[in-house]
A and B are shown apart, each in its own frame.
Chain A
Amino acid sequence: TQLLEQSPQFLSIQEGENLTVYCNSSSVFSSLQWYRQEPGEGPVLLVTVVTGGEVKKLKRLTFQFGDARKDSSLHITAAQPGDTGLYLCAGVWGAQKLVFGQGTRLTINP
């Protein structure tokens, strides 16, 4: 059983479209991170959100942490082919545990 469920698991859209991917849990996390992973490479941190209701923006990417700190979303505006990759959310749970979701594989078609 996944502590963190990401949806959708796969998403393929055209360049220029907007999209939102989700990271949900029944557990409360003290903070949550989003990573992007490209083929043949390790994940790279995009953002950390720590406060319920927090919104962070990174150029065309908007990250939100739910008020109850059980969920998060990533919204991409005007998607570009360079946004293609596997997006992973990771929640801080327990003293030293960072738990990852299964990821959303995003493909942006030119």
Chain B
Amino acid sequence: NAGVTQTPKFQVLKTGQSMTLQCAQDMNHEYMSWYRQDPGMGLRLIHYSVGAGITDQGEVPNGYNVSRSTTEDFPLRLLSAAPSQTSVYFCASRTGTAVTGELFFGEGSRLTVL
């Protein structure tokens, strides 16, 4: 029962390096999203997608890129990592486009930028 799978679980980068956080879901969900979680800030939406080929920005999109070439995968790219991007990143998906639907989260990816 995989659900939402994120890799890697932990990553350390140096300032200026680039990397991709992977997210895959096996529930055939149309909607996928990326959040970052920082102490005292809750979860903040970075980017989201309502279907293959469609992406849009959330609250904090700067410094991140996404693409959605398949229903299953929604990778998050950090173009040039900065210490301010040190955070725990969560991928989440839900069925349909109704925003009241249940979000299913991955286990998170902890990123440290030195």
Cα A95 to Cα B103 in complex, Å, equals: 16
The answer, yes or no, to whether A88 is at the interface (CB within 8 Å) is: yes
**Which stretch in B13-21, B36-44, B64-72, B73-81 binds the other chain?**
B36-44
* Chain A 68-110 interface residues, beta-carbon cutoff 8 Å to B: 88, 90, 92, 95-103
Q: Residues of A contacting B48 with CB < 8 Å? A: 96
Q: B40 touching A88 by the CB < 8 A rule?
A: no
The answer, yes or no, to whether B46 is at the interface (CB within 8 Å) is: no
Q: A9-B40, A102-B40, A102-B42 are in contact. Are A44 and B105 (CB under 8 A)?
A: yes
Q: B42 touching A45 by the CB < 8 A rule?
A: no
The answer, yes or no, to whether A25 is at the interface (CB within 8 Å) is: no
Q: Which residue from chain B places its CB closest to the CB of A42 in the assembled complex?
A: B105
Q: A96-B50, A100-B43 are in contact. Are A42 and B102 (CB under 8 A)?
A: no
The answer, yes or no, to whether A43 is at the interface (CB within 8 Å) is: yes
| A contact residues, total (Cβ < 8 Å) | 28
Interface string of B42-62 (1 = CB under 8 A from A): 111100101000001011000
The answer, yes or no, to whether B100 is at the interface (CB within 8 Å) is: yes
Cα A10 to Cα B105 in complex, Å, equals: 23
* Chain B 1-46 interface residues, beta-carbon cutoff 8 Å to A: 4, 35, 40-45
A59 → chain B closest CB, angstroms: 18
Cα A96 to Cα B105 in complex, Å, equals: 17
Q: Which residue from chain B places its CB closest to the CB of A98 in the assembled complex?
A: B99
Interface string of B77-114 (1 = CB under 8 A from A): 00000000000001010000101101101111000000
Known pairs A40-B108, A96-B99; list 16 more (Cβ under 8 Å): A9-B40, A30-B100, A40-B107, A41-B107, A43-B105, A44-B105, A88-B42, A97-B45, A97-B99, A98-B99, A99-B59, A100-B43, A102-B40, A102-B41, A102-B42, A103-B42
12 contacts between A and B (CB under 8 A): A41-B108, A42-B105, A43-B43, A43-B90, A43-B103, A45-B103, A48-B102, A92-B99, A96-B97, A97-B45, A100-B35, A100-B42
Q: Sorted from nearest, which 5 A-B pairs have the closest CB atoms? A: A42-B105, A100-B42, A102-B42, A100-B43, A45-B102
